[in-house]
Each structure stands twice: as structure tokens, then as C-alpha cells.
Chain A
């Protein structure tokens, strides 16, 4: 499967715990995006990387949220001190640079449940 992959697919955690999600983009894509989707809503942009540089992070929901892409390949999204309101689907997408940059390919998502 050469598409975007995300792990884990499901995560149940207790309030106050930290969680980390991983995204592996399509191999030749140098742009990577994180979105959050709550029930009944469309995806909401969180942050994006071009290679290892995080070019937009003002939309991260709070300082409890952080993302990294240390080698310009896979990325991680961490939520510290989780709250029940963090329960959502977290989506990752990737795109190429240049002319193909407009088309984002989405992963299957990680569903987070905070109890």
C-alpha cells in the first residue's frame, strides 16, 4: 500500500495522559498536513510541514498540541494532558511540491477517545 498510513488507528486514553500519533506520507511527497475532525463536522486544519520545516502552526488548538517531522519523512502529533474535548478523528494528508501541491492525499485517520 503506497498511500498515507497512520498509526494507531484507534486510541483510548484516560484524561490527563499524553498521546502520540504517527503519520507516514506517500514517499515522494514533501508536504504533510494534520487535521482534526469532530463528529458531524468537516476536517479542521491544524498544521503543515514542508520537508522538516513546520510552516504553519498557528492553528494548533492549544499549547498541549505539538507536531514534529524530524527527518522530513514521517510525522508525529502529540497531545499532552488530554481532555475529553480532544476526542476526535485525527487525519494526516500529504502532497507533492510544485504543480501537484494542491491535491492532498488523506490517511485513514486515528480515532482518539478520551475517557
Chain B
């Protein structure tokens, strides 16, 4: 069975501070992992995908197969980063398994 765990329900940081949102997964196959974001009053949208290895809005995430983790990082948080962040795992059956989400609050 596949599972995605986001241990923190809420993460609160000051503007300019580094941010790390944790994500751990369990999956027997080769994982394909994503981070989705939901800003206030907006729909869920893709932030980044591990295969692309891009930096989106200053965020990066590295897949660590040894630790089964896919943590999302940003060196300097901005107020506009405040949102719900969901880690998700995509399997061969085309379904996404989401973690419970982490609310990021960036204080001025």
C-alpha cells in the first residue's frame, strides 16, 4: 500500500526565514512525487514535480529514496507563500495519493 505523510499540520515562519515542509512516503515501486499548493480561495494546483528538478517560485524538492522523503524547501520565505501545501504520490494506476497537508503561514 502507498502512503504519504506530512508530519506538520502547521508551519509558521517569519518573512525571509528558510522553510522546509516535510514529506515522507511509502511505496513499493518507483515513486513519482509532486507538491501541490492551494492558495486562499483558489483551486489546488501543481507546484512542482520531482522528475523535472525545477525550482518554482523559489521552491525546490529533492527525492531521497534512502530516507523515502521529498521535502519542500525555500531559502527565504515570502508572505505570498502562505498557503496549504500537499505532497502527493502518483502511481501506475493514475491515481494521486495525497498527504494530509501542511499550512504554511509566513508572518511579516
Contacts and interface: CB of A to CB of B under 8 A. Distances in A.
A33 B44 CA distance: 14
B101 A41 contact: yes
A103 B46 contact: yes
B44 A43 contact: yes
A10 to B, nearest CB: 14
Which 4 pairs show the lowest CB-CB distances between chains A and B?
A42-B98, A45-B95, A106-B44, A43-B98
23 contacts: A3-B43, A33-B95, A33-B96, A35-B96, A40-B9, A40-B100, A41-B101, A42-B4, A42-B6, A42-B100, A42-B101, A43-B44, A45-B95, A45-B96, A45-B97, A56-B95, A101-B94, A102-B90, A103-B46, A104-B96, A106-B44, A107-B43, A109-B43
Contacts of A107: 43
Nearest to A107: B43
Nearest to B90: A102
A59 B9 contact: no
A48 B94 contact: yes
A53 interface: no
A56 B93 contact: yes
Contacts of A55: 94
Contacts of A40: 9, 100-101
Contacts of B4: 42
A44 B3 CA distance: 11
A59 B94 CA distance: 13
B49 interface: yes
A53 to B, nearest CB: 12
Nearest to B98: A42
In this complex, the member of B44, B86, B97, B99 whose beta carbon has the largest number of chain A beta carbons within 10 angstroms is B44
A31 interface: yes
Contacts of B97: 45
A26 interface: no
Interface in B65-108: 86, 88, 90, 93-101
A43 B43 contact: no
Nearest to B93: A56
